[in-house]
Structure 1
Amino acid sequence: MSTSEGDLLHVVTADDISDGRRKLGTTVIWGSFAILVIVAALQWADANGRADFGFTSWRPTLYAFCLWSVGLCWGQVLRFGEYGKRTLFVLPAALFVGAMVVFPLIFGVGIALSDWNLSSPDGRQFNGTDNIVEMWNDPFYWNALKNMVWYVLAILPEYAIAFGLAVLLNAQIRARKFFRVAFLLPLMLSPVAVSWMIGKSMLEVRFGPIARFFRSLGVEDVAFFSSPEMARFMIMAMDAWTFIPFMMIMILAGLQAIPKELNEAARVDGAGPWRGFWEVTFPLMLPVSITAILIRIIFKLKLADIVINVTSGGPGGATDTVTSFIFREYRDRSNVGYGTLLAMVYLVIIVIFMTILMKVSERWTRPRT
């Protein structure tokens, strides 16, 4: 068999599909879709008190969606034959994303535009843009956003410390393997465990060992979370202690990937350790460094557990993050509608911010040779 004849085995020709089969495929697709629309409309009417169909959950709509998904896949095969079978490699994944991402997002937008307080006997009531106006005039939410700026900027000194530790662990020092494991221990702990172990125990004002040590030195005011600046710094320190090893291990992997010949060539050309670092090591590490910083920013934007367990956002909202503030809207105030709106707005801010940041950092993330 020649090469040209072998290639023909991978060519899919159009099937000879009859008009009746095409019509059947179209009927299956639109018929199942009509069932989905009707069931969803009945479900919406039942949920909003317009009618009483005895629906206790959204399972009928889920079943109708599954029926439409099967009908859509089957209809594609009926209408397009072999070409329709190709879509089956992508269509189920697209439908799954629609069910797990798109539908919850639309449902969340509906909740965000509603007045839904779990302590209210009235249930969920549509209020349009009232939640948006409330958010615009909410100083605590804007204060949480301002705090996030400080928390994100704290990543720069974290990166410097992580880079220094990575360089140290990459050098030929004694007990290097031991120190690598020891420096990774904070990353193995849960942030909740760190908050209780350090924030609630070691830094406790009355009986904490650190506070008692400072009092033995004659320092009377040892309240670590009394002033806004000190409280914010302590939250940053605990979060940094937990996640600096994450950046350190990524940077260490990048350092070990740099060929030793490059540093040796720099020394032969007369470059000292400091000059060799800035002109050889650091430029080659930029892609890894930017990647580590971007991933760390994503983790930082989700910071909540340490704040919730140690300070609950205090004093006066000085340590609040957006996530911890939204958590208290749900837990303490039972304000589901307003809390969902804050979460939606924060999601949009994160998407825009990370998109811009990745676009700006694109020039430094390209591998350098």
Structure 2
Amino acid sequence: MAIAELPAYGAISRRRKEWGRALIAAATVLFLATALAQVLNSARIVDLGFRDWRPTLFAYLAWAVVLGFGQVMIRGQAGLRALFILPAALFTVAMAIFPTLFGLSIAFTDWNLSSATGQKFNGLDNLFQLFRDPFYWNAMRNMVIYVLFVLVEYAIAFGLALLLNAEIRARKFWRVVFLIPLMLSPVAVSWMVGKSMLEYRFGPVARFARWLGINNPSFFTDPWAARLWIEAMDAWVSIPFVMILLLAGLQAMPKEVMEAATVDGATPWQRFWQITFPLMLPVSLTAIVLRIIFKLKLADIIITVTSGGPGGATDSVSSFIYREYRDRSNVGYGTMLAMFYLVVIVIFVTILLNVLSRHMRRMT
């Protein structure tokens, strides 16, 4: 049926709308019942004979088809137009919501790959173990430290952006040079710097330190020194990203304002604090929030260089969860750690965005 032949919403009969709603409700109940049955079967609470999650997949596909058909029955032309958006929305649900729900179903189970008993439902035991795990909370404290370092990275990036925005010689060349770290993989940087240059026996930095008279130039035995080196490597890779955002903001600023301030006799320091910094605040806050989000995922450099050592001093939450999976094969408990961290991130980022939004409204 062509779009022009479909009735508008007001012209659709009441009986047709009821049939459409009934079809969607029946498909929804069938899909939810299938998913619940698979969760119970996966947790071994009941044995329904399901070998994999294909029944839930087929039920979801059937529900998606019925949902689209029901929208056309209920809304007519508007429902047909909604079909252009529906596949993208359903794909997002399949790729984001379902894996999260699947992770939740694993988080409440005792599932160790090295155990012969397999997956068993254990209620809130993993959550209670999480609250008693000192290594996990140590990783949480480390994340607070790493996130606070974002302010230092922002200050360095702002200084570099101001420098590259000034009329200096070979400005385009230096812009490319300062962007090179952004093009490198953090794992490659970890091997080049952490595992090669800072290697305490044969690394060039260690040899130079011994030449200066330092007998034991070990860079990752002291907890704070190890954290600083991890932060330095992560900052070297990430500062160019913040710098390029700030540089774009500086180039978009109206030059007439700066020229008028110069004519009025404002010093460079006054121009920065009274004009440049306030005008750059929206871009700065965006760059800081994005950098914090990336920092919360810090893991690759830590895993490659220190594996969380010494004694968990450099562990991030992500690296600790990775080792819980890799070294202990503890899938159930590791998933609970990841789910709890996800909740913490969502709450933290939501509060941060609300605070920044209120601050920006007061300034404007």
Same fold (TM > 0.5): yes
2:164–2:171 contact (8 Å) kept in structure 1 = yes
CA distance in structure 2 between the partners assigned to 1:226 and 1:80 by the alignment: 67
Task: Give the SS at the match of 2:11.
Answer: coil
What's the counterpart of residue 352 of structure 2? Answer: 357
Q: CA-to-partner distance for each residue in 1:236-280, whole Å, 9 max, x for gaps?
A: 111111111111111111111112211111111111111111111
1:73–1:88 contact (8 Å) kept in structure 2 = yes
What's the counterpart of residue 88 of structure 1? Answer: 83
The one-letter code of the counterpart of 1:216 is W
Q: Determine which of 11, 15, 18 is the counterpart of 1:15.
A: 11
Q: Determine which of 259, 262, 269 is the counterpart of 1:264.
A: 259
Alpha carbons of structure 1 residues 166 and 70: separation in structure 2 relative to 1, 3 Å? same
CA distance in structure 2 between the partners assigned to 1:44 and 1:233 by the alignment: 44
2:45–2:121 contact (8 Å) kept in structure 1 = no
Which stretch shows the higher mean deviation, 323-332 or 255-264? 255-264
Task: Give the SS at the match of 1:275.
Answer: helix
Alpha carbons of structure 1 residues 150 and 46: separation in structure 2 relative to 1, 3 Å? closer
CA distance in structure 1 between the partners assigned to 2:69 and 2:182 by the alignment: 48
What's the counterpart of residue 69 of structure 2? Answer: 74
What's the counterpart of residue 230 of structure 1? Answer: 225
Q: CA-to-partner distance for each residue in 1:134-184, whole Å, 9 max, x for gaps?
A: 111110011001111111111111111111111111111111111111111
CA distance in structure 2 between the partners assigned to 1:130 and 1:15 by the alignment: 56
1:17–1:80 contact (8 Å) kept in structure 2 = no
CA distance in structure 2 between the partners assigned to 1:177 and 1:358 by the alignment: 34
1:14–1:82 contact (8 Å) kept in structure 2 = no
Give the TM-score, by structure 2 length.
Answer: 0.91
The one-letter code of the counterpart of 2:231 is M
1:22–1:78 contact (8 Å) kept in structure 2 = yes
Alpha carbons of structure 1 residues 71 and 129: separation in structure 2 relative to 1, 3 Å? same
1:159–1:244 contact (8 Å) kept in structure 2 = yes
The one-letter code of the counterpart of 2:311 is G
What's the counterpart of residue 184 of structure 1? Answer: 179
Matches within 5 A, 1:122-161: 122-161=117-156
Cα offset for 1:36? 2.8
Give yes or no for the alignment of 1:330 onto 2:325.
yes
1:113–1:341 contact (8 Å) kept in structure 2 = yes
Cα offset for 1:294? 0.7
Cα offset for 1:87? 3.9
2:307–2:315 contact (8 Å) kept in structure 1 = yes
Give the TM-score, by structure 1 length.
Answer: 0.90
Alpha carbons of structure 1 residues 305 and 78: separation in structure 2 relative to 1, 3 Å? same
Alpha carbons of structure 1 residues 63 and 216: separation in structure 2 relative to 1, 3 Å? same
Alpha carbons of structure 1 residues 179 and 367: separation in structure 2 relative to 1, 3 Å? farther
Alpha carbons of structure 1 residues 83 and 247: separation in structure 2 relative to 1, 3 Å? closer
1:326–1:339 contact (8 Å) kept in structure 2 = yes
CA distance in structure 1 between the partners assigned to 2:309 and 2:194 by the alignment: 13
2:9–2:75 contact (8 Å) kept in structure 1 = no
What's the counterpart of residue 8 of structure 1? Answer: none
Which stretch shows the higher mean deviation, 71-80 or 113-122? 71-80
Alpha carbons of structure 1 residues 31 and 280: separation in structure 2 relative to 1, 3 Å? closer
Give yes or no for the alignment of 1:114 onto 2:109.
yes
CA distance in structure 2 between the partners assigned to 1:45 and 1:13 by the alignment: 41
1:225–1:231 contact (8 Å) kept in structure 2 = yes
CA distance in structure 1 between the partners assigned to 2:41 and 2:144 by the alignment: 44
CA distance in structure 2 between the partners assigned to 1:149 and 1:43 by the alignment: 38
What's the counterpart of residue 195 of structure 1? Answer: 190
2:299–2:316 contact (8 Å) kept in structure 1 = yes
Task: Give the SS at the match of 1:302.
Answer: coil
Alpha carbons of structure 1 residues 80 and 241: separation in structure 2 relative to 1, 3 Å? closer
Task: Give the SS at the match of 1:361.
Answer: helix
Q: Determine which of 203, 212, 234 is the counterpart of 1:208.
A: 203
CA distance in structure 1 between the partners assigned to 2:296 and 2:156 by the alignment: 20
Give yes or no for the alignment of 1:340 onto 2:359.
no
Q: Determine which of 259, 275, 294 is the counterpart of 1:299.
A: 294
> Structure 1 vs Structure 2: percent identity of aligned residues?
61
1:108–1:340 contact (8 Å) kept in structure 2 = yes
Alpha carbons of structure 1 residues 197 and 24: separation in structure 2 relative to 1, 3 Å? same
The one-letter code of the counterpart of 2:346 is V
CA distance in structure 2 between the partners assigned to 1:309 and 1:187 by the alignment: 18
The one-letter code of the counterpart of 2:13 is I
Q: Unpaired segments of 5 or more residues in structure 2?
A: 1-6
What's the counterpart of residue 252 of structure 1? Answer: 247
Cα offset for 1:22? 4.3
Alpha carbons of structure 1 residues 163 and 41: separation in structure 2 relative to 1, 3 Å? closer
Q: Determine which of 298, 304, 308 is the counterpart of 1:309.
A: 304
Cα offset for 1:100? 2.4
Q: CA RMSD in A?
A: 2.3
1:112–1:131 contact (8 Å) kept in structure 2 = yes
Q: Determine which of 27, 30, 36 is the counterpart of 2:31.
A: 36
